[in-house]
Amino acid sequence: MTRYVNDLKLSQFVQNVFLSFGIRREDALICADNLVLADLRGIPSHGVARLRRYVDGMANGTILPLNQPEVVREAPSTATIDGRAGLGQLVGHFSTRKAIEKAQKTGVGIVVARNSNHYGIAGYYTQMMLDAGLLGLSMTNTAPLVVPTFGRKMIIGTNPISLTAPTKRNRPFFLDMATSVVPRGKLEVYDRLDKDMPQGWAVDSKGLMTTDATEVLKNMIARLGGGILPLGGEGELYGGYKGYGIALLVDILCGVLSGGAYADMVDVRGPGGKGQPALVAHFFMALNIENFVEMDIFQEKMDDLIDRLKESEKAEGQQRIYVHGEKEYELYEKHKSSGVPLEEPVYNSLKAIAGERGVAFELE
């Protein structure tokens, strides 16, 4: 069963949950905006279904919600941020604002952050750069969920990348993707629905492909082997090694460049399997387009690029070629009108959280 709930009520509920931990109202709003935007854009794997993760992390001390990010190294165009094990959304928001400020002053703003937590969808931060009239890039490493090509142990993250670029006539270009075949959240969706996932998404503890999302998730949690495949899939035939390489690119720019954690150093369990700060690292780059070319020319060329793609010949039986971001923009408009779809397990999880935190549960 799917329930459709008002996005403003959903956002207020999520804010209230974060407020119950004593964080500032403006910080609660950032966290709620981040999660609800994912659902509005049709990315439920990173939406309010993740609220349980943050609630448990704040409750058990692996996320320190009152800690504010701190600048530890800075130059005119760059900065390094220590997230101090705080909420990833707040670290990401702080770092993005810093990158925007630097780009507006010098033309380029590059900010890296370490000692953070899961920061939601990467596109939340590139949207901030887009809104400021800048070209935006954001990346993050994640807990080790992906097996390297020819491996069977999770050692790298799904390591997403987002890039946004402004246009005039068309919707802005909006890339937001994992460097794995799918993010972990997609497996969780199939697990919640008790359905087989598509062949080619993940491998079992022996490194063999499987469609059993529940088994893979259990193995991932217990670190028994197996995990998600890199973009391109198993082996080398369809370029899985390329997805593996792009994931390492993200790890280098996020974890190594920030002096933080990378690969299987991220989200490591402490003694006895006890949770501890995740040490996630991020990368943000904002570019002032006018430092390279006139904005009008850039936007005209972006529109021309998009037009050339969309007007090119379609495959037999296909009516439309999409450009990155189009589906998400269309789903956003639909969900603003019809409501945010929540599967029953997610709805029930939110209701349970409301009871635990003493927060009113009024979504419909």
Q: What's the CATH code of the domain at 12? A: 1.10.1530.10
Number of structural domains found in the chain:
3
- Examine the domain organization and report whether 47 and 150 are in the same domain: no
Flag whether 162 is in a domain: yes
- Examine the domain organization and report whether 10 and 126 are in the same domain: no
The range of the structural domain enclosing residue 342 comes to 1-60+329-364
- Examine the domain organization and report whether 200 and 257 are in the same domain: no
Flag whether 317 is in a domain: no
- Examine the domain organization and report whether 217 and 350 are in the same domain: no
The number of helices, as runs of H, and strands, as runs of E, in the chain is 11, 12
Alpha carbon distance 261, 353 (integer Å)? 31
Q: Which two tokens stand for residue 77?
A: 């165009």
pLDDT at 62: 96
Residue bearing tokens 């997609």 = 186
Contact 242, 231 (CB under 8 A): yes
Give the CA distances from residue 361 to residues 7, 34, 156, 163, 358, in Å, rounded to whole numbers and listed in that order. Answer: 13, 20, 37, 35, 9
Residue bearing tokens 């925007």 = 100
- Examine the domain organization and report whether 211 and 341 are in the same domain: no
- The half-sphere exposure of 215 on its side-chain side, counting CA atoms within 13 A, is 16
Q: What's the CATH code of the domain at 295? A: 3.30.1370.60
- Examine the domain organization and report whether 128 and 9 are in the same domain: no
- Examine the domain organization and report whether 19 and 100 are in the same domain: no
Per-residue pLDDT of the chain (364 residues; tens, 9 = 90+): 899 999 999 999 999 999 999 999 999 999 999 999 999 999 998 999 999 999 999 999 999 999 999 999 999 999 999 999 999 999 999 999 999 999 999 999 999 999 999 999 999 999 999 999 999 999 999 999 999 999 999 999 999 999 999 999 999 999 999 999 998 888 988 998 899 999 999 999 999 999 999 999 999 888 889 999 999 999 999 999 999 999 999 999 999 999 999 999 999 877 776 789 999 999 999 999 999 999 999 999 999 999 999 999 999 999 999 999 999 999 999 999 999 999 999 999 999 999 999 999 999 8
What three-state secondary structure class fits 332? helix
- Residue 43: closest CA among 117, 124, 97, 116: 124
Q: Which two tokens stand for residue 49?
A: 């279904």
Flag whether 193 is in a domain: yes
pLDDT at 186: 86
What three-state secondary structure class fits 91? helix
- Examine the domain organization and report whether 129 and 272 are in the same domain: yes
- Examine the domain organization and report whether 242 and 265 are in the same domain: yes
Flag whether 360 is in a domain: yes
pLDDT at 282: 98
Concatenate the DSSP letters of all residues of 247-296 into one string. Answer: HHHHHIIIIITTT---GGGTT---GGG------EEEEEEEE-GGGTS-HH
- Examine the domain organization and report whether 119 and 147 are in the same domain: yes
- Exposed/middle/buried for residue 110 (C-beta within 10 Å: 0-12, 13-18, 19+): buried
Flag whether 255 is in a domain: yes
- Examine the domain organization and report whether 99 and 176 are in the same domain: yes
